Amino acid sequence: MAIDKIDIWNADEEPRLSAVLSECWALLLDGASDPKHDLYTPALATNDPAHGAMVRTVVLRHVDRERRQLTFYTDLRSRKVGEIQADPRVSLLFLAHSDDTQIRVQAEARIHHGDALAEEAWAEVSLSQRRYYMVSGPPGLPWAWPTSGLPERLENHPPGKAESQIGKLNFAVVVCTVSQMDWLYLTPYGHRRATFAWNQAGQLQTSWLVP
């Protein structure tokens, strides 16, 4: 069901918190379905005990409002996977320039590899994108010369289906279950901010905040 966009300044009344929450999920759903949408590429922060916060861009692949889940894909060998395994608490930062909206998310991440969920996701990954998971070493591995990490013939050419299966060994799906969402809406006349937090039992607490 399409949800009307919030338009605080042209409405007679302030939006209800429930409408704001629906707006957040609607924006996230839009983001996951459109590579040109600002919310397609959030920043993901993890915790590294030695270095503190680590942040990088990921692609938002799926949004499930019912389960409160945001999903991205990654290389099982990447550094973030070890960080998530050690501490599954992650943050995601979304900035929708066009909607003057920032959404900050706290979530618990779970890595799926070699299970039914990962199999299903892998089946949907295009041959061209399967190359991301076919690089010769873990992302971040030092190399003596500039490299794509791919054999030359794959640099401008997708692999065949059989050949691409090697990438499945490195393919992981990361499902983030949202525990808190912070919405900030910017206007020249005064901003608005709200928070939404779910407890362990899934009960929702909401509040307006000073921006």
Ligand X SMILES: Cc1cc2nc3c(=O)[nH]c(=O)nc-3n(C[C@H](O)[C@H](O)[C@H](O)COP(=O)(O)O)c2cc1C
Nearer to ligand X, 78 or 206 (CB): 78
The conformational region for residue 140 under phi > 0 = left, psi -120 to 50 = alpha, else beta, is left
Cα dihedral 210, 39, 47, 72 sign: positive
Which of the ranges 71-79, 88-96, 111-119, 151-159 carries the binding residues for ligand X, by CB under 6 A?
71-79
One of 23, 27, 70, 73 touching ligand X (CB under 6 A): 73
The tokens for 35 are 């590579």
User: Rule CB under 6 A: is residue 41 a binding residue for ligand X?
Assistant: yes
Query: Within positions 95 to 154, which residues make up the interface with ligand X, using CB under 6 A?
Result: 139-140
One of 57, 147, 187, 207 touching ligand X (CB under 6 A): 57
DSSP state of 202: -
One of 25, 42, 45, 80 touching ligand X (CB under 6 A): 80
DSSP per-residue codes, 135-169: -SS-TT---SS---SS-HHHHSSPPPHHHHGGGGG
Nearer to ligand X, 15 or 42 (CB): 42
Q: Least distance to ligand X from the beta carbon of 100, Å?
A: 22
Q: Reduced to 3 states, what is the DSSP secondary structure of residue 98?
A: helix
User: Rule CB under 6 A: is residue 74 a binding residue for ligand X?
Assistant: yes
Dihedral of CA atoms 77, 69, 67, 117 in degrees, nearest 10, equals -30
For residues 76 and 112, what is the distance between their CA atoms, to the nearest angstrom?
9
Q: Least distance to ligand X from the beta carbon of 170, Å?
A: 10
Nearer to ligand X, 81 or 194 (CB): 81
Nearer to ligand X, 72 or 183 (CB): 72
Nearer to ligand X, 20 or 70 (CB): 70
